[in-house]
Amino acid sequence: MKTIDDLQVDGKRVFVRADLNVPLDGGTITDDGRIRAAVPTISALLDAGAKVVVASHLGRPKGAPDPQFSLAPVAERLGELLGKPVAFATDTVDDSARATVEGLAAGQVALLENLRFNAGETAKDDAERGAFADRLADLADLYVGDGFGAVHRKHASVYDLPARLPHAAGGLIATEVDVLKKLTEDVQRPYAVVLGGAKVSDKLGVIDHLLEKADRILIGGGMAYTFLKAQGHEVGKSLLQEDQVPVVQDYLRRAQERGVEFVLPVDVLAADGFPDLKTKAPAHPQVVPADAIPADLEGLDIGPDTRKLYASKLADTATVFWNGPMGVFEHPDYADGTKAVAQALLDSPAFTVVGGGDSAAAVRILGFDETAFGHISTGGGASLEYLEGKTLPGLAALED
């Protein structure tokens, strides 16, 4: 896979497919982590004299312009981080995009409007997707893929466009791939994996694959209750995917056969309903045993004994991968489990990887120093699919 060091970019129009899919509250960016992650590659290209054309998706618009998903606030924030103005095209491939790109001089940068405002970006039809990629290719001389959070998508700007232009991987993708290889090819042991989040169905593939790789798998978040149910415990009103119980039982059986240690909560914080995440009103949780959750209560975070247990299971590790919060970390009464896991990673001597998505957001929201972790991924779904052993279209497109 070529990198930007292999490209001659001086005076050239370089299309950078970034991942600037940040959370917005109205027009306010609530977490700019992905924008900051894109800055080094863009800066390097600008310093080398490129005319940089940045493109990204944001949210899930329906293939047509939708003001709530505009990248205009991102252009402003990107300009602040780069220390120079970012010209903003109000469309993707039409008059504004062409005029904006034509107006760039060497060392200047533009951002196109949300790629998903054009139905061709995500089209299942190869011809429709290819036609959009053709129009994007007209805007540039070279292509740099740097949106790791999108490389698991077979989209026009990720998969089809690199075939139409000389291409290379940006620094962010190159780093992500190097890190993920440390979790799959040359793993330092003991290797522990911490998985959380709401649904076990979102993690089935990665659990299946990690049963061949990991020494220890710790489970938290809403998905833990399906595991507890699979062990025969009642889980009250907690989140439960009843249809996945047989699958989880099979995983537990296979783990035991292979000597992989599955670690589940021993206690949980529970309440009689989901907390109000807007007002953050006190939720008055109570600690209950994980194997005896009352019928009228819902588990919303791992409990204090589980936090200590998980910290002890991470203390002697050499490699840790963490994806998914331990509870409803957005509410202060249910953030301590996720905080405890983050702190345990910092206290561990291990090479620690935070696998993007809500885990990365939690690290920032809860006030941890991002640089203290071995690596914080920008792509939750992409990281998981890589660890499942899947071929990621966006990476395959950069490798030829």
- Residues designated catalytic: 34, 199, 357, 381
Residues, the chain, total? 400
- Whether the CB-CB separation of 132 and 75 falls below 8 Å is answered with no
**Rounded to whole angstroms, how far apart are CA atoms 192 and 258?**
15
Closest CA to 393 of 212, 126, 21: 126
Residue with tokens 């490209």: 7
Q: What is the dihedral of CA 350, 351, 355, 360, to 10 degrees?
A: 80
State yes or no: cis peptide before 190, omega within 30 of 0: yes
Q: What is the dihedral of CA 385, 388, 393, 399, to 10 degrees?
A: 120
For residue 279, the number of C-alpha atoms closer than 13 Å in the C-beta half-sphere is: 6
**Rounded to whole angstroms, how far apart are CA atoms 183 and 193?**
10
Enclosing H/E stretch for 75? helix 72-82
CA distances from 348 to 306, 316, 379 (A): 17, 7, 23
- Whether the CB-CB separation of 88 and 111 falls below 8 Å is answered with yes
Could you tell me which residues come within 8 angstroms of residue 253 by beta carbon, excluding any fewer than 6 positions away?
none
Pick out the residues of the known binding site for substrate: 19-21, 34, 57-60, 116, 153
**Rounded to whole angstroms, how far apart are CA atoms 83 and 77?**
10
| Cα radius of gyration rounded to whole Å, the chain | 22
Pick out the residues of the known binding site for (2R)-3-phosphoglycerate: 34, 116, 153
- Whether the CB-CB separation of 74 and 56 falls below 8 Å is answered with yes
Residue with tokens 């497109």: 397
Q: Cα 257 to the chain's mean position, in Å?
A: 31
Structure token digits, residue 397: 């497109």
Q: What's the DSSP call for residue 223?
A: T
Q: What is the dihedral of CA 195, 200, 203, 207, to 10 degrees?
A: 70
Structure token digits, residue 281: 């009103």
Pick out the residues of the known binding site for ATP: 203, 299, 330, 356-359
Q: What's the DSSP call for residue 293?
A: -
